[in-house]
Amino acid sequence: MVDDAAAAIDFYRRAFDAREDFRIDVPGGGILHAEIMVGQSALMLGDAGADEADGAGLASFLAPASLGGGTSVTLHVFVPDVDGLARRAAAAGAEILVPPQDTFHGDRSTILKDPFGHIWVFLTHIEDVSEEEIQRRLAAAG
């Protein structure tokens, strides 16, 4: 959930080349539910607190800002070109926490924080690595 889901969707379009597939607006403003595609991953989002408008009265969906800026979720998404995505995301306003780099598990990845407080790990698969090799590489890294 985010504060200002419409702005988040716009950011995800510019930064991650997201495609919006579905949206349910709340009467009087806001988004109850939207579905976007980032790479081959389907994600669902809406305005924090909008669940109250559907009559369920859950009021349990909070945005990271209401949690003091932290989040307990990291979104992992595979994309064809992690380097290009990182450049585009930074230009759109994302904070790059870890620049693109090859990893021990066979992916090239970057970690970023979007302006809405969500942490994203974007990956491009570059090699198949056995479980034994992953363990060996971890041990070698110390």
Kindly report, residue by residue over 59-104, the tens digit of the pLDDT: 566 677 767 777 767 899 999 999 999 999 999 999 999 999 999 9
Q: List Cα–Cα distances, 140 to 4, 34, 42, in angstroms.
A: 44, 44, 36
User: Could you read off the pLDDT of 1-54 as tens digits, one per residue?
Assistant: 888 999 999 999 999 999 999 999 988 888 999 999 999 899 999 988 765 554
Taking the model in full, what pTM does it have? Answer: 0.83
- Residue where the block lists tokens 């290009």: 84
22: left (phi over 0), alpha (psi -120 to 50) or beta: beta
